[in-house]
Amino acid sequence: MREKSSPAMDTAVMPSQLAGHAHTIQLIAYALIIIVIFAGDQITKNMVQKWIPRGMVVPVISGFFNIIHTENTGIAFSLFAGASPSWKMVLLIAVSLALLVAVLIVALKSREMKWETGVGLALILGGASSNLLDRIRFGQVVDFLDVYYRSYHWPTFNLADSAIVVGAGLLILELLISK
């Protein structure tokens, strides 16, 4: 005797299909994070370039936070800013591109990534790709966020730098928690 199957059972989603859909949704969420960070960074840098003359300081929170238009030809925290321009830009672009490709490969090959890892990698990819585009197009990156307390100043940074730091922090957090 053959058991009748209901239409609901015929269209039931198998656990492997569910996992595939969940993975696809995760990848879409990570892609959206990358796009939001990339676009947000490009938009804010463009606004600073258009509305704030280079070197001008706009106080936001007195004694703690300013917006200032600076241009960084180096890497994070202006490292290598004074190095010879002939080799520096090619090296910075090549290293940035290689690291972006490596992070992208790791992200795409990881089927069971924890959310901290996925979001962390997406933040890093969004920020690094925006800064890389600026280096390729302009040979420099616009920095404008100036955080300080009295005479102690954190190096000026931008939204992309913030995303990279938060992304790296999430990766470190995930490593510490998983042990």
Lowest-confidence range among 1-15, 98-112, 127-141, 152-166?
1-15
pLDDT attached to residue 79: 58
pLDDT attached to residue 80: 60
161 is catalytic: yes
146 is catalytic: no
Which of the residues 41, 134, 146, 161 is marked catalytic? 161
pLDDT attached to residue 61: 97
pLDDT at 77 over 60: no
* Nearest CA among 73, 58, 63, 62 for reference residue 145: 58
Residue-wise pLDDT tens digits, 96-145? 899 889 888 887 777 677 888 999 999 999 999 999 999 999 989 999 99
Q: Which residue has the higher pLDDT, 80 or 150?
A: 150
Q: Which residue has the higher pLDDT, 86 or 116?
A: 116
Residue-wise pLDDT tens digits, 23-75? 788 889 999 999 999 999 999 999 999 999 999 999 999 999 999 999 988 76
Structure tokens that stand for 77 in this block: 């925290």
141-149, strands of its sheet edge to edge: 57-61, 65-72, 141-149, 152-153
CA–CA gap between residue 88 and residue 95 (Å, rounded): 11
Which of the residues 41, 134, 143, 146 is marked catalytic? 143
